[in-house]
Amino acid sequence: MTMAKAGDNIETQNANWRFSGETVKNFDQHVEKSVPLYNEGHTLICDISDFFLSDNSIVYEIGCSTGALISKIAKHNSSKKVDYFAIDIEKDMITAAKKMATVEKINNVEFIHNDFNELNVDDESVNFVVCYYTMQFISPALRQKTFDKIYRMLKWGGGFVIFEKTRAPDARFQDIMSLLYTEYKLKKGYTSDEIISKSRSLKGVLEPFSLDGNIGLMNRAGFKDICSIQKYICFEGFLAIK
C-alpha cells in the first residue's frame, strides 16, 4: 500500500495511524503544529500542579509520548519531593521519553511501557493524574474502565487533568468546528493532501467524545467537581477533583 504523508515527514496509511517507528522522531513538532494551544496547555498543567503537589506526592501521566509534559511538570516542581510515573503503550515512545529525561537531567520519573489498565496502582495513593490528548485513543469499550481506575487511584482532593479533542453537540456545530479546524491546519502550512491523509489514517483510531460524553464518563466514575480550563475550537481541557 502506498504511504501518504501527514506532514512533518510522517508517513501514514488508511485507518492505521501509529505512535511508533518513524513517527516518534517528528512527533513533538507535528503535534505542536496540529493541536491548538498545545504548549500553552503544558504550561497551564504545570501551574495547576501547584495546587495538588507537595512533598511525598505521586503523579501519573497516562500516555506520556516523548516525555515532554512529564519532564516539564517535574522541573516545575523540582523544589518538592515528588515521584512521577509516566506510562505509554508504545515502546518507542518510552525509549524517546527516557532519552529526553536524561538530557533534561530529570531522575525522579519512572517510565513504564505498559497498558495503563494492566497496571497495579493502589487505591487512593495518587495526588495528580494527567491525560493529555490520550483518552481519545483508548477504545470506547475500555474508556469507562479507565476513568473508573483513575478515580479510584486518586486521593481525596486529588486532581485529574484531561485534555481531549471533542465532538460538537449536533451536526451543524460539528460541521462548523471541522471546517474551522481545517482552516487552522491550512494556516499552519499543511497541504490539503496532508490534511486528508491524516484524517484518513485516524479512522477507527481516534474516537473523540462530545463534551457531555466526557463529563458523563467522569460522573459515572465518581467525579462531581469538574471545570473546563481551556477551550479552542474542538480541543478542550478539564480539571476534575475527587
Specify the residue for cell string 503503550.
89
Share of residues in the chain with pLDDT > 70 (%):
98
- pLDDT tens for each residue of 18-42: 777 878 888 899 999 999 999 999 9
Predicted confidence at residue 17, as pLDDT, reads: 76
Separation between Cα atoms, residue 83 and residue 97, nearest integer Å: 16
Separation between Cα atoms, residue 227 and residue 205, nearest integer Å: 27
What is the SS3 assignment for 216? helix
Cell of 234: 474542538
Name the residue ranges covered by the structural domains of the chain. 4-241
pTM comes to 0.94
- pLDDT tens for each residue of 150-202: 999 999 999 999 999 999 999 999 999 999 999 999 999 999 999 999 999 88
Q: Could you confirm whether domain 4-241 is CATH 3.40.50.150?
A: yes
Specify the residue for cell string 469538574.
226
